[in-house]
Structure 1
């Protein structure tokens, strides 16, 4: 079975990381959701991708220089050019990690949560990792199973130091080393099996499919991102990827539903 993770929620339809995007992902039947996390000025773990606010809000400057209250005052919706769903409230769209956990816990079905830790400056140290673990711990999460009620938690980063820090706390099977053509640090942990999930981008997969196959053959799971076309999906399935991260979980699930229930296949067609 191929698991479908919603990349920043159903971000093809609604603004990435918004409450509406995650609710839509659950409605679309996503097996899990992915989120990026950063720290606010007052140490809260907020769900946002970019280092700065400029692209996805009416604010500007580094996320790290705003308090949570200041971040909640921003409009993170209008840039996408879509209407709010009926009943949705603009002020509720920005999420903390704890907000997202609450939303997933209310899903009343098993769901995965892939938390990507974003780092720009090495001197930041492990403050973000510690804050994330603290948020989870307050909810009753424990690292040995990395599960919180119905929510299975895994952790991802391009930053090999962040993955290494978490490896001292969390079993490697719950850790994902992200790689693409520009960032290949940490692949030795995939080679030796200390980290259990390989996270290649579609560009890396296209360039090095045999490497991804080798990681899978060595016992790793592969979580390919961001798979938004049928062609990328078929390429992922061809190497045996067990997990797909996509902006459009409804589309990918519909394509998967139309495929025969067989093992890895060669890419066919173009989507």
Structure 2
């Protein structure tokens, strides 16, 4: 199979949980900041609440990024929306309260994020990672596909619409998405420490892209070419250091996922 061309003269820059180096992760303000910097797309993690709503939260528990306590999957959406999701990120001397800018501190649901992206009319790269293990099991992927169908985003890339890719470390989770909605592109995430056989360049059937931990790329840069020889696109996360941005450019990866989209775009250039 021929190696697919890179989509641009530089890797696409996707903002990891928004411009999360500057703003509270997974808030609408963080995503708006990413686009202010010129990001090509955004990434989010999704978890299912007790009453089956998909919310953009990375951790299993809420303590790190809110003023609440508990496990996301055991809390209902209404309770999660009562929490402050921004104050933990307040910098020295910063006095702004969540009430001054509700977008900064309000919980973000996947529906709200997709509604915002669809409204732009742009072909925004939109990476959605499902988190496992979870008490909800395959309900996460079932609900995700239902949400994508609601926004008519389950039929593959369309002009003037967000270009959605579903990501997971779980091959089984990706297979569930493929069975429910075969047109949605998938990305198999790979940790920094993996057996050699897991990075031979092949991917499970139906998966067209790999998401490599930047630590793995540093140690074994040849792995990028292995996947490209098999016709797969290569995404690298989380690329925050300038030396790693340079490395990704040199290796010809397709997408870099970063907490610092403004820095990445300045470093790698607008058009290469």
TM-score range, shorter chain: 0.7 to 0.9
Contact 1:177/1:187, CA 8 A, preserved across alignment: no
Partner of 1:201: 213
Aligned residue-pair number: 258
Answering whether residue 170 of structure 2 is matched by residue 159 of structure 1, we say yes
Cα distance in 2 for residues equivalent to 1:31 and 1:151? 11
Mapping for residues 1-271 of structure 1, pairs under 5 Å: 1=8, 2-82=11-91, 83=96, 88-89=101-102, 93-121=106-134, 124-143=136-155, 145-147=156-158, 149-171=160-182, 174-182=185-193, 187=198, 191-192=202-203, 194=205, 195-257=207-269, 261=272
Cα distance in 2 for residues equivalent to 1:204 and 1:164? 24
Contact 1:177/1:190, CA 8 A, preserved across alignment: no
Partner of 1:267: none
Contact 1:216/1:240, CA 8 A, preserved across alignment: no
Q: After TM superposition, give the deviation of residue 164 of structure 1 in Å.
A: 1.8
Cα distance in 2 for residues equivalent to 1:56 and 1:192? 33
Q: Give 5+ residue unaligned stretches, structure 1.
A: 262-271
Distance 1:3 1:185, change over 3 A: same
Q: After TM superposition, give the deviation of residue 238 of structure 1 in Å.
A: 2.4
- 1:222-245 alpha-carbon deviations (Å, 9 max, x no partner): 110011111011121222201110
- 1:230-266 alpha-carbon deviations (Å, 9 max, x no partner): 10111212222011100011110011118x84xxxxx
4+ residue runs of structure 1 moved beyond 3 angstroms? Answer: 82-87, 146-149, 169-173, 182-190
User: For structure 1, which segment, 188-197 or 107-116, has the greater mean C-alpha deviation from structure 2 after superposition?
Assistant: 188-197
Q: After TM superposition, give the deviation of residue 147 of structure 1 in Å.
A: 4.3
Distance 1:192 1:246, change over 3 A: closer
Question: What's the RMSD between the two structures over aligned residues?
Answer: 2.6
Q: Give 5+ residue unaligned stretches, structure 2.
A: 1-7
Contact 1:110/1:152, CA 8 A, preserved across alignment: yes
**SS of 2:163's equivalent?**
strand
- Give the TM-score of the pair, scaled to structure 2: 0.86
User: For structure 1, which segment, 82-91 or 25-34, has the greater mean C-alpha deviation from structure 2 after superposition?
Assistant: 82-91
Distance 1:60 1:86, change over 3 A: closer
Contact 2:13/2:261, CA 8 A, preserved across alignment: yes
Q: After TM superposition, give the deviation of residue 118 of structure 1 in Å.
A: 0.4
Q: After TM superposition, give the deviation of residue 91 of structure 1 in Å.
A: 7.9
Q: After TM superposition, give the deviation of residue 142 of structure 1 in Å.
A: 2.9
**SS of 1:48's equivalent?**
coil
**SS of 1:95's equivalent?**
coil
